[in-house]
Amino acid sequence: MFNSERYSHFTLQSDGEEDGGSHVEVRLSDDVVDDHAPSEQVGQPGGSPSYMPRPQQNYRKVCYLALGTLFIFIIGYLIGYVSHHSPRKEPITCDSEQEVGVAEEAVVESSLSWNDITSLLAQRLTPDAFNNHAAGSSADGILEYRVFDSFKSLEMEAWTDVHHVQLQTANRYTHTHTHHTLCLIIPLWGICFVCLQGKAVYGNYGSQEDLMLLQTLKVELNGTVILLRATGQISLAQQVANVAALGVSAVLIYLDPKDYKFQPTTELYGHVHLGSGDPFTPGFPSFNHTQFPPTQSSGLPTVLAQSITAASAAKILTRIGGLESPFSFKGSLDNVKYTLGGASSEDVTVEVNNVLQDTEIHNVFGVIKGFTEPDRYVVLGAQRDAWGPGYAKATVGTTLLLELARAVSEMVHTDGFRPRRSLVFASWSAGEYGCVGSTEWLEGFFSSLDRRAFTYISLDGVVTGHGEFKASASPLLYSLLESTMKEVKNPIGFGESEKSLYDKVSGVNFERAVFEPMKMEDSAYPFLASSGIPSLSFRFVSQGSEAYPYYGTSLDNKDHLGYATAHRLSSLATGAGLVAGQLALRLVHDHILRLDVQRYRTVLSQSVFKINQRLKQVTRVCLYDIIDLSARWLIMALGSYSRAATDLNTELLNTDLTDTLACHNINDRIMRVEHNLLSPYVSPKEVPFRHLLFGRGSHTLAALLEGEDREALRTQLALATWTLQGCANAFSGDVWDSDNQI
């Protein structure tokens, strides 16, 4: 304001009345009113009432005003410039206050090198950190709140994911038992409210080889109650599926002392769903608002399946009679002559009274968001529920999940680490029932996760022994795990602490020494086989031991796990944390995703070679069959994949890694590989595991090695060929770069 006059769109003007009042008149136009216009045109009768006269001023005052305003503006600009460009000390680390107002690219390009990052992770993951955690609890709700509060205390964005699923629970009023000639009390995890009777048969482990031997010995299986001993070689679900295909009425499974050195009264827990997730919503999520007609998974057994104790199994085996079993069928039950049973054995009646209950489950998540590509993320997950103590099954994994979240969060908030991409930490519920919580999340957010969640790392069962390191993974992650093992010190060998994990297997074939096929019961399996997300699980195991014997029993506690790990549980858990942590950090740190598309070529080539050999044999047998079963087109599709992989690597070598858009495009192509190996020709509802290599069903390459119907084989061959060709086209780049010459 100059000379008590305001210069704006609002003009103060005396109204000329006696009280000397004034009012505000709003100008409705930017048009200039002539100061020398006749009075009747402005405010006088006959003139326009919309305009009021401006204060009288001369041109000299206007010039002074303009110059003063310009002078003040220049002074203000200079003060602001100097204040924002004054020198300041270079901070040692970037805290949250220093980040405010900094451009995104400047924040993302962290000054920390990869060696700095791995050193910080090693400093924050120590054996003492794991010793501070108490044993896990079967109270899922209590643990849920603890995990959620832990994520919030780390200043992570935390949330829960709710599903309504059907789970079997024990009937508090009626026991499950067998009766008639025998009276047995058995644990509760079979089909609900079923009672049946049949001749008893002993079938060893229920493997395909065992069942073929029973058929060779003319042991009738149809309508019988078959007794099997548990094994670490195949899952309970696979055992039940094998014998159900031969028409048995019920399956009883026990822990034989020859395989498990337990008390005869030790109970066995597990599930027999040959699949994952809620078996009553196959292929779609169990959200509260979804309404689907009654349906059930094709992997749910149609026969009754129940576990019993070794003491109960002994009562059955002493009374079933029949042929004496082969030597390979012999167990170590006291005073038991292992016979095969059959028509001459006594009847066994099995009654199951479990309850199918609608249950609300909660998955818990926390996220550390990336600074460049926050919409792309690595997921690290662990189940938190367990039947019994579940120390190896759930406690170690959940503890590791929380410790990794704490370590990475502190690296971001305190040490200046700036991940390019996000890390999601997931605590799953209902894992004991067959990865129910994680599978329902995958089904519920399948479209959201597509090309966003680019890797899943499972923390379940990472420590079950000492002496060896084993892993199951997508071939895309083989190279990354190999390089990680070269950087992580070996926590499993006495006197070898300065050597790396890789040194343990150096000099031999790395893949053969470390990797195992991923089984359906693996927590990472649904991510890979159902959702097409490159996945990895790993474990420290006892040398020469096939499996941790206490899984699925009340003996999976801290003492037994301590004995299995030679009382080095904390050191092994720290080593597992460093492996998982460095895998995840490398994936969110580098400009280009460390997913090696070349490693898939070897695995695909091995399968295609076997298929080609098999089809040649079929063609020789059926020389006059007009059906063409040549693998020529499949081989050409493999060639398309190989060329696309080579071209991508060549392009990568010639890419400027500081070009954010170029890196983003290459990463986008890499992320298409796994997802596009899911067959588009089968329904997720009928065939949930759609992966061409790791799935289950007629669409897989493995099915081409087993089928007998030549017309069906021809169709399978064509669909598998186009699945592989589609994968090659998807990551080859633009549509004009696609190699579709088959």
Encode pLDDT of 253-273 as tens digits. Answer: 999 999 999 999 999 988 999
Residue whose tokens read 């200079």: 78
Task: In whole angstroms, give the CA distance from residue 541 to residue 292.
Answer: 43
Three-state secondary structure readout of 697-736:
CCCCCHHHHCCCCHHHHHHHHHHHHHHHHHHHHHCCCCHH
Q: What percent of the chain has pLDDT above 90?
A: 59
Q: What are phi and psi of 250, to 5 degrees?
A: -155, 155
Question: Contact 655/736 with Cβ under 8 angstroms?
Answer: no
The CATH T-level fold of domain 114-121+140-163+360-490+515-542+575-587 is Aminopeptidase (3.40.630)
| 102-140 confidence digits (pLDDT tens) | 333 333 455 689 999 999 999 999 887 766 544 334 567
**Does residue 16 or residue 142 have the better pLDDT?**
142
Distances in whole angstroms, Cα of residue 302 to Cα of each of 23, 248, 251, 575:
89, 10, 11, 43
What is the rounded CA–CA span in Å between residue 466 and residue 570? Answer: 12
Alpha carbon dihedral 569, 396, 520, 676, in 10-degree steps, equals -110
pLDDT tens string 236-250: 999 999 999 999 999
CA 64 to chain centre: 71
Both tokens of 234, joined, read 């195949």
C-alpha count within 13 angstroms, C-beta hemisphere, residue 353: 11
Q: Given pLDDT bands bounded at 50, 70 and 90, which one contains residue 297?
A: confident
Average pLDDT over residues 694-723: 92
Only one residue has tokens 């996220």, namely: 367
Q: Quick check: 310 and 266 in contact, CB under 8 A?
A: yes
Rounded to the nearest 10 degrees, the angle between the axes of helix 569-589 and helix 478-487 is: 120
Q: What is the DSSP string of 402-441?
A: HHHHHHHHHHHHTS----SEEEEEEEES-GGGTSHHHHHH
Element at 199 (helix H, strand E):
strand 194-202
3-state class (DSSP) for residue 443 = helix
Host H or E run for residue 650: helix 632-653
Per-residue pLDDT at 506: 81
pLDDT digits (tens, 9 = 90+) for 475-488: 999 999 999 999 99
CA–CA separation, 150 and 391 (whole Å)? 20
Q: How confident is the model at residue 435 (pLDDT cuts 50, 70, 90)?
A: very high
Residue 552 CB contacts under 8 Å (≥ 6 apart), including other chains: 268, 269, 270, 387
Query: Is CATH 1.10.287.130 what the domain over 175-352 is classified as, yes or no?
Result: no
* Angle at the Cα of 441 from the Cα atoms of 669 and 461, rounded to 5 degrees: 90
pLDDT band at 63 (very low <50, low <70, confident <90, very high): low
The residue ranges of every structural domain in the chain are 114-121+140-163+360-490+515-542+575-587, 175-352, 597-731
How confident is residue 722, by pLDDT bands cut at 50, 70 and 90?
very high
Q: Is 572:580 a contact under the CB 8 Å cutoff?
A: no
Tell which wins on pLDDT, 27 or 564. Answer: 564
Q: Is 653 exposed, middle or buried (0-12, 13-18, 19+ CB in 10 A)?
A: exposed
For residue 178, pLDDT beyond 50: no
Query: What's the pTM value of the predicted model, to 2 decimals?
Result: 0.82
Are 303 and 179 in contact by the 8 Å Cβ rule? The answer is: no
Average pLDDT over residues 414-427: 96
> For domain 597-731, is the CATH number 3.30.1380.10?
no
The phi, psi pair for 140, rounded to 5°, reads -60, -40
* 184 vs 195: CA distance, rounded Å: 14
Q: Which of 301, 83, 292 is nearest to 190 (CA)?
A: 301
For residue 194, the model assigns a pLDDT of 57
Percentage, residues of the chain above pLDDT 70: 77
Q: What is the mean pLDDT of residues 211-223?
A: 94
CA 516 to chain centre: 18
Average pLDDT, the chain: 82
- Cα torsion 129, 130, 136, 140: sign: positive
pLDDT score for 618: 78
Q: Bin 348: left if φ > 0, else alpha if -120 < ψ < 50, else beta.
A: beta
Q: Which of 336, 316, 334, 310 is nearest to 325 (CA)?
A: 336
Q: Name the residue with tokens 């060639």.
A: 639
Helix (H, G, I), strand (E, B) or coil at 138: coil
Q: Please report where in the chains the tokens 């699980």 appear, as a residue.
A: 537
Among residues 657, 662, 155, 107, the alpha carbon closest in space to that of 420 is found at: 107
- Give helix 396-413 / helix 569-589 axis angle, nearest 10°: 50
Distance (Å, rounded) from C-alpha 325 to C-alpha 674? 46
CA-based radius of gyration for the chain: 35
Is the pLDDT at 415 greater than 90? The verdict is yes
664 Cβ contact partners less than 8 Å away, ≥ 6 residues apart: 373
Cβ atoms 310, 257 nearer than 8 A: yes
Closest to 193 in 3D by CA, of 169, 216, 209, 215: 169
pLDDT tens profile 571-583 = 999 999 999 999 9
Highest mean pLDDT: which of 197-201, 261-265, 420-424, 728-732? 420-424
pLDDT at residue number 495: 52
Residue 258 has, within 13 A of its CA and on its CB side, a CA count of: 15
pLDDT, position 170: 67
Average pLDDT over residues 609-621: 85
Determine the average pLDDT of the residues in 335-346.
87
Q: Residue 442 in contact with residue 523, Cβ under 8 Å? A: no
Q: In 521-596, which residue ranges form alpha helices assigned H by DSSP? A: 525, 558-564, 569-589
| Residue 622 pLDDT greater than 70, yes or no | no
Looking at this protein, which amino acid is placed at residue 508? V
For helices 114-124 and 396-413, give the axis angle rounded to 10 degrees.
Answer: 130
**Secondary element (H or E) of residue 226:** strand 225-229
Q: Is residue 462 packed enough to be buried (19+ CB in 10 Å), middle (13-18) or exposed (0-12)?
A: buried
Closest CA to 641 of 674, 612, 663, 615: 674
Per CATH, 175-352 and 597-731 having the same topology is answered no
**Whether 331 contacts 256, CB under 8 Å:** yes
Give residue 60's pLDDT band: very low, low, confident or very high (50, 70, 90): low
